[in-house]
Structures are given as C-alpha cells and as structure tokens.
Structure 1
Amino acid sequence: MKLLLQKWRIGLNNRTEVEKRAVKGKLQSATYAQTQSYLRPLMKKLRQNNLPPDIQESLTEIIGHLLDRNYIAANDAYSRMAIGNAA
C-alpha cells in the first residue's frame, strides 16, 4: 500500500503549477490527503501484525488488482471482502 500511495504522490507532484492550483487539482490533493488519513489505522494494524488472515488475503488480492490497474476487479474484491457473497 505504501508503494501505491507513493506512486500516487509522485503523480500529483509531477503536475504543473496551473494544474495543482485548479479546482480539480486541489480536489485531487485533498483526496490524497484524506486517503492517507483514513489508511493510517489499517497501516498501524499491518505493522503490528494485528489483522485477521482473511482480511490480509483480501487486501493482497485488492492490491494485486490495483497494481495491474484492473480497478473493476479490485472493486469486486473489495465488495466481497466488505459484504461477502450476499445477494
């Protein structure tokens, strides 16, 4: 996950100043900061090795899809993790 956040941060930093100052650019930066904030508790649990194995497996699957840029499959894996196979 750190790798994904780092790639995202680099992409944001590589924008021109005009893009960064535009409304869309500010929203992108705010989304990045909010995501970092929301991921802190998860990252802490991962560092402490205090995450249930089933969630670790699901996160591994999701991150694999994200690295392959297969966002639909990542979303499907997240949905399975969050709500299971309920109809």
Structure 2
Amino acid sequence: MKEWRYKLDDLPEHVKKSAKGKHDATIYKQTKSYIKPLFKLLKKRQLADEIVQSLEPICSFMAEKEYVKANDVYMELAIGNQPWPIGVTMVGIHARTARERIGSDKIKHILNDEDQRRYVQSVKRLMTLAQQLYPSVPSKMVE
C-alpha cells in the first residue's frame, strides 16, 4: 500500500488532476479502507482458516514473481471449483450429471459476505499492482 501511495504521489500534478488520476486515487483509498478488516482479523488471529490457507501461497507466489500461480490460488479462493448452477439442471427427462453436488450448502460463500468480498477484491488489486511494480518474464504474468 505504501508503494502504491508513493507511485500516486510521484505523478505529475496535471495527471493527478485528470480523470484517470482522480480515479486511481479513489481506487487507492477504497482499497485501503477495504483491506483494513483483513489486517485487523490477521492481527487478532481470527481470520477463517480457509482464507489464511489461500493467502499464504498467494503471498509466497507474489514474492517469487509467480503471478500466474498466485492468480490461480486467488481464483480458487474467490470462486472455488464447485459446479455452478447456471440454470440448466434438467436436460430432457434425465437429471443433470452431478446435480446433487450443486446444492447451496456445497457452494463457497466467500464472496457472499460483504467484508470478505471487499478484502478479497483488495488482495486482487494489490496483486495487479505488484505485477506492474515488479514485472517478471511474460510467461509468469497475468494479462
């Protein structure tokens, strides 16, 4: 977050006052406020184990500049790999294959909690920023 702030502070004044500059500053402020609950939960050691177990490899991969691998872990955290009920559960007279696994109790609800959604989104923004600040070989970067 500090490096993001420094990056924004180093922008020329005309860029800061432009629409893009104002938008970037707003995104920074929003991300800063969204990620505070994550830091508080980490400090109190009250963050859900599932999230901690996903954030650890994300941070490790980011430190190694393995952005594609970090993004894969992020996607697993954010949306999981459960079958999604997109509306087609019956095909003709036969039930859809694996329909019993689509129940609402089987789907990850990490993005259904507003606070969790916010700090998970902030993690993604920080991943994107890190990729810009510390580029790697193209095969290890997310486009």
TM-score higher than 0.5: yes
Question: Which one has a larger percent helix, Structure 1 or Structure 2?
Answer: 1
Structure 2 unmatched ranges of 5 or more:
84-143
TM-score, reference length from structure 2: 0.51
Are 2:26 and 1:25 aligned? no
**1:7 aligns to 2:3 (yes or no):** yes
**In the comparison of the two structures, how many residue pairs are matched?**
82
1:32 alignment partner, SS class? helix
Shift of 1:60: 2.0
Larger radius of gyration: 2
Identity %: 37
Which consecutive segments of 4 or more residues in structure 1 shift more than 4 A?
none
The AA in structure 2 aligned to 1:36 is: K
Is the deviation greater in 24-33 or in 74-83? 74-83
Give the RMSD, CA atoms, in angstroms: 1.9
TM-score by length of 1: 0.78
In structure 2, how many angstroms separate the alpha carbons of the residues matched to 1:18 and 1:26? 11
2:45 is paired with a residue whose SS is coil
Residue 86 (structure 1) aligned with residue 82 (structure 2) = yes
> Could you list the per-position Cα deviations for residues 40-60 of structure 1 after superposition, in whole angstroms to 9, with x for gaps in the alignment?
111110111111333112112
Higher relative contact order (CA 8 A, sep 6+): 2
Note the alpha carbon deviations across 1:30-49, whole angstroms, 9 max, x for none: 00000011111111101111
Amino acid in structure 2 at the alignment position of 1:75 = N
- What is the CA-CA distance between 1:7 and the residue it aligns to? 1.3
